[in-house]
Amino acid sequence: METALNIHIKGVVQGVGFRPFIYRLASGAGIKGWVKNTNEGVDIFAQANRDELNAFLHQIKVNHPVAAIINTIHAMPSALADVPCFSIISSENRSLEVTGISPDIAVCDACLADMEEQPNRKHYPFVNCTNCGPRFSIIRDLPYDRETTSMSVFPMCKSCKGEYDHMLDRRFHAQPVACLDCGPGYQLSIGKKLVDGTIDQLLIIVSDLLSKGKIIAMKGIGGYHLACDASNEKAVKTLRRRKKRDAKPFAVMFRDIPSLKGYAHISDFEQHALESWRRPIVIVKKRGRTKEPALSPSISSGLNTVGAFLPSMPLHYLLFRIFPLPAIVLTSGNLSANPIVKDDDAAREQLVPIADAVLSYNREIIHRTDDSVVRIMNSKEHLIRRSRGYAPTPLHLSLKTDGILAFGAELSSCFGIGKGENAILSQYIGDLKTLDTYLYYEKEMTDFLHLFRMKPELLVCDMHPDYFSSKQALSFPGLPLIRVQHHHAHIASCMAEHGLDEKVIGVAFDGTGLGTDEKIWGGEFMVCDLSDFKRILHFDYISLPGGDRAVEEPWRTAIAYLYHVFGRDFHQLPLPFLKAVGNNRILPILKMIDLGINCPMVSSVGRLFDAVAAIINLCLESTFQAEGPMRLESIAANNCNNSYPFRIEKTIGVDETIRGVVDDVLKGVDSTLISAKFHNTIISIIVDSVMLAAQKEKLNKVVLSGGVFQNKYLTENIHMALKRSGMKVYSQEKVPANDGGIALGQLIIAAKRRTSACV
């Protein structure tokens, strides 16, 4: 007997081949009815016998297109209708289709096969279908149609149009559909010379140049990359020099998983992330002994990890067919601190001096997207940079967010807008102190407001008045503005991700953030909910001689700690790093501290890591963000359970910790053990502090956030220790624990305060 269901599906189900999938599934099973897009997702009317409908629902859940995300699926019985077959019907109000922007999707296997077999797509590097290809990076406006993308200048040929119009075709309504006859193409320029040829001819030249140690700028999905042979130390060093990037690790693209396994230890979770359609860079542990040819040591600058990723564009696959080696460096095409170059003119201006050749294509990139970066901790994916493949996927929240615009922080910045019960976060933007990055932030914000048809009603920014993001908030005069404390935003961001709307213990450890006492925080324990927080414990303040200068020169923070712990006697300590710094640099620092000149007081754990990295002579100057802490983590021994003493009273004191580190250095204890002992100390401090708070406040949920928790050793061990003590522990996964997650925290805090005010 026939029955009927009305099925409502919410989530990311538009622009990802969802309706054709439903159509094929239903027609194949003889189900009658229809499917259509709505402003919130997809509606289906399905009529068949009960078993078929149950199987249909099951198939939707388990076999949906890879890039689709189903948040909720509701099926309600419905009256039977007189429908002859199954069809896709057009949407009632397309102007409201605003939640449907899919991120860019790596090329799928079926398209890779087409690239071998279809005559009009033979080695065609822009092959795509409803399951794969560019999305966000080419969208100019909504509704998502070819005319509103940068594909608009490429009229479809007859054959592509046929596929586009045919409901059962894999390219049905695939907006970027293209082939050799009608789509975009690549071109290569070497110096001022433009080289013409088929893609294979161009790639033979590119491969040859790479093999000779040359640097190639290659236009990717979301911006230009710079590439060189990953086994050629000279080429990598040249790239560093020309890019003005001292030591920040470069990402490496490997031919495939077997090649990568010759160079790094890959867990199943890491492999899963690497192969996902989002194709992020995954931070993996290098092997001690690797396959030949070895990776250039300059890639990771002494860290024990490498940022690895797999081919995601058809071009990458074509290149590895010709290029004989297993890996290429593929780093973002920019001068350090500037945003990734996306326009061809800018590439000529900024990248020609760096690259020996430029491989470009004639389709415009509308939205920049850097490569995303993830790290697997506790067998779960944790985003460190959220961009290609992830943005602008909405994050589903438990509160209404309409009209809220969150400006984010300043470093690793990202803003967010509220829509329905979602947060739509921008892609990773970067350090707003660089003018071009700030302009990018401003432009992308304008674009998001337009794309998502968002009219700001409530603004929320960081408490820090000097952040460029906070200043940007002032450019929307007349709207109410909430200023949120930085570390409260960190914790709220993690709570938002996990749907927590209650009192929790928050542990926010990072580099810097302005506190309510005008001092710089970064080692904070708080009891908080989504609307407010109470700081219950923090690390002792220490002078940061020179402020931002000390962030770049961790030896300064080390001096501040030694001076504080040992008094002037620290001069007598025969520490190698003191010798390396020299008295002529140390004495002025002591004067600064004595007189309190340009010495902000900080409680930051990031800076404490810096200080220890300097005291053990591991990192005196920081050439990239968090270099000291990263180096410290990188060397930590795995089999050490010892730790240093510390004090928890009204505040947390680490004088004895610093003494312990110094003693060990003087005794000649191996740095790998000192690092492990220091990490273990931080873990003990967290566990002891959390357990004190848990008893006092009768709470059992702990929320960890802030850049310090990108540290795998720390995060995994804290989870283990706190769980053993009966606590429930939450970390950031979908948004970064660094300042890239601040906008989400601001957004949820504003949403919560707005609802409370209404009650």
Q: Of Fe ion, Zn ion, none, which one sits near residue 160, judging by CB under 5 to 8 A according to partner kind?
A: Zn ion
Q: What is the distance of C-alpha 734 from the center of its chain? A: 8
Binding residues for Zn ion restricted to 269-288, rule: CB under 5 A = none
Nearer residue to Fe ion within complex by CB, 282 or 703? 703
Q: Of Zn ion, Fe ion, none, which one sits near residue 682, judging by CB under 5 to 8 A according to partner kind?
A: none
Alpha-carbon span 535 to 533, nearest angstrom: 6
Q: Of Fe ion, Zn ion, none, which one sits near residue 111, judging by CB under 5 to 8 A according to partner kind?
A: Zn ion
The CA distances from residue 695 to 2, 507, 567, 726, in Å, are 59, 16, 37, 12
Alpha-carbon span 737 to 712, nearest angstrom: 12
Burial letters for 579-606: b for 16+ Cβ neighbours within 10 Å, e otherwise? eebeeeebeebbebbeeeeebbbbbbbb
Identify the CA nearest to 513 among candidates 710, 739, 735: 739
The least distance separating Zn ion from the CB of residue 109, rounded to whole angstroms, comes to: 8
Q: Of Fe ion, Zn ion, none, which one sits near residue 739, judging by CB under 5 to 8 A according to partner kind?
A: Fe ion
The least distance separating Zn ion from the CB of residue 132, rounded to whole angstroms, comes to: 3
Q: Of Fe ion, Zn ion, none, which one sits near residue 108, judging by CB under 5 to 8 A according to partner kind?
A: Zn ion
The reply to whether 106 sits near Zn ion by the rule CB under 5 A is: no
Contact between residue 9 and residue 60 where contact means Cβ atoms under 8 Å apart: yes
CB proximity list for 517: less than 8 A, separation 6 or greater: none
Position 233, amino acid: E
Binding residues for Fe ion restricted to 490-519, rule: CB under 5 A = 510, 513
Nearer residue to Fe ion within complex by CB, 144 or 441? 441
Q: Which stretch binds Zn ion (CB under 5 A): 62-70, 131-139, 409-417, 535-543?
A: 131-139
Q: Residues 5, 101, 179, 463: which binds Zn ion (CB under 5 A)?
A: 179
Phi, psi of 401 (to 5 degrees): -120, 5
Q: Which stretch binds Zn ion (CB under 5 A): 130-138, 370-378, 536-544, 747-755?
A: 130-138
DSSP, res 339: P
Identify the CA nearest to 493 among candidates 454, 533, 537, 539: 533
Alpha-carbon span 620 to 614, nearest angstrom: 5
Q: Of Fe ion, Zn ion, none, which one sits near residue 569, judging by CB under 5 to 8 A according to partner kind?
A: none
Place of tokens 């460096």: 329
Q: Which stretch binds Fe ion (CB under 5 A): 332-340, 354-362, 610-618, 735-743?
A: 735-743
The reply to whether 181 sits near Zn ion by the rule CB under 5 A is: yes
The least distance separating Fe ion from the CB of residue 592, rounded to whole angstroms, comes to: 25
Percent helix, percent strand, percent coil in the chain, to nearest 5: 40, 20, 40
Hey, what are 157's tokens? 């040929």
The reply to whether 7 sits near Zn ion by the rule CB under 5 A is: no
Rg, C-alpha atoms of the chain: 27
Q: Of Fe ion, Zn ion, none, which one sits near residue 179, judging by CB under 5 to 8 A according to partner kind?
A: Zn ion
Q: Of Fe ion, Zn ion, none, which one sits near residue 132, judging by CB under 5 to 8 A according to partner kind?
A: Zn ion
Position 340, amino acid: I
Alpha helices for 498-575 (secondary structure H):
548-552, 554-566
Nearer residue to Fe ion within complex by CB, 35 or 749? 749
Hey, what are 746's tokens? 């601001």
Across the strands, what pairs with 484?
A: 462
Identify the CA nearest to 243 among candidates 251, 628, 411, 429: 251
The least distance separating Fe ion from the CB of residue 626, rounded to whole angstroms, comes to: 11
The reply to whether 68 sits near Zn ion by the rule CB under 5 A is: no
Q: How many residues bind Fe ion (CB under 5 A)?
A: 3
Hey, what are 372's tokens? 């995303």
The reply to whether 431 sits near Fe ion by the rule CB under 5 A is: no
Nearer residue to Fe ion within complex by CB, 334 or 603? 603
Identify the CA nearest to 174 among candidates 198, 141, 138: 138
The reply to whether 410 sits near Fe ion by the rule CB under 5 A is: no
The least distance separating Zn ion from the CB of residue 445, rounded to whole angstroms, comes to: 32
Nearer residue to Zn ion within complex by CB, 114 or 421? 114
The least distance separating Fe ion from the CB of residue 598, rounded to whole angstroms, comes to: 22
SS3 123: coil
Alpha-carbon span 710 to 431, nearest angstrom: 18
Contact between residue 473 and residue 459 where contact means Cβ atoms under 8 Å apart: yes
Contact code string over 182-221 relative to Zn ion, x by CB under 5 A: x---------------------------------------
Across the strands, what pairs with 265?
A: 285
The least distance separating Zn ion from the CB of residue 16, rounded to whole angstroms, comes to: 11
Q: Of Fe ion, Zn ion, none, which one sits near residue 403, judging by CB under 5 to 8 A according to partner kind?
A: none
Q: Of Zn ion, Fe ion, none, which one sits near residue 410, judging by CB under 5 to 8 A according to partner kind?
A: none
The least distance separating Zn ion from the CB of residue 192, rounded to whole angstroms, comes to: 32
Nearer residue to Zn ion within complex by CB, 109 or 518? 109
Phi, psi of 99 (to 5 degrees): -95, 5
Nearer residue to Zn ion within complex by CB, 170 or 240? 170
Q: Residues 520, 739, 751, 752: which binds Fe ion (CB under 5 A)?
A: 739
The CA distances from residue 640 to 3, 8, 79, 657, in Å, are 64, 53, 67, 16
The least distance separating Zn ion from the CB of residue 177, rounded to whole angstroms, comes to: 7
Q: Of Fe ion, Zn ion, none, which one sits near residue 182, judging by CB under 5 to 8 A according to partner kind?
A: Zn ion
Identify the CA nearest to 458 among candidates 424, 488, 482: 482
Nearer residue to Fe ion within complex by CB, 173 or 464? 464
Q: Which stretch binds Fe ion (CB under 5 A): 75-83, 420-428, 712-720, 734-742?
A: 734-742
- DSSP notation for 6-72: EEEEEEE-SSSSHHHHHHHHHHHTT-EEEEEE-SSEEEEEEEEEHHHHHHHHHHHHHHS-TT-EEEE
The least distance separating Fe ion from the CB of residue 246, rounded to whole angstroms, comes to: 23
Binding residues for Zn ion restricted to 146-165, rule: CB under 5 A = 157, 160
Hey, what are 316's tokens? 């990458």
Nearer residue to Zn ion within complex by CB, 151 or 357? 151
Q: Which residue is nearest to Fe ion (CB)?
A: 510
The least distance separating Zn ion from the CB of residue 181, rounded to whole angstroms, comes to: 5
Q: Of Fe ion, Zn ion, none, which one sits near residue 510, judging by CB under 5 to 8 A according to partner kind?
A: Fe ion
CA dihedral 179, 273, 19, 366 (to 10 degrees): -50
Identify the CA nearest to 694 among candidates 718, 722, 731: 722
Nearer residue to Fe ion within complex by CB, 370 or 510? 510
The reply to whether 129 sits near Zn ion by the rule CB under 5 A is: yes
The least distance separating Zn ion from the CB of residue 677, rounded to whole angstroms, comes to: 51
By CB under 5 A, name the binding residues for Fe ion: 510, 513, 739
By CB under 5 A, name the binding residues for Zn ion: 108, 111, 129, 131-132, 157, 160, 179, 181-182
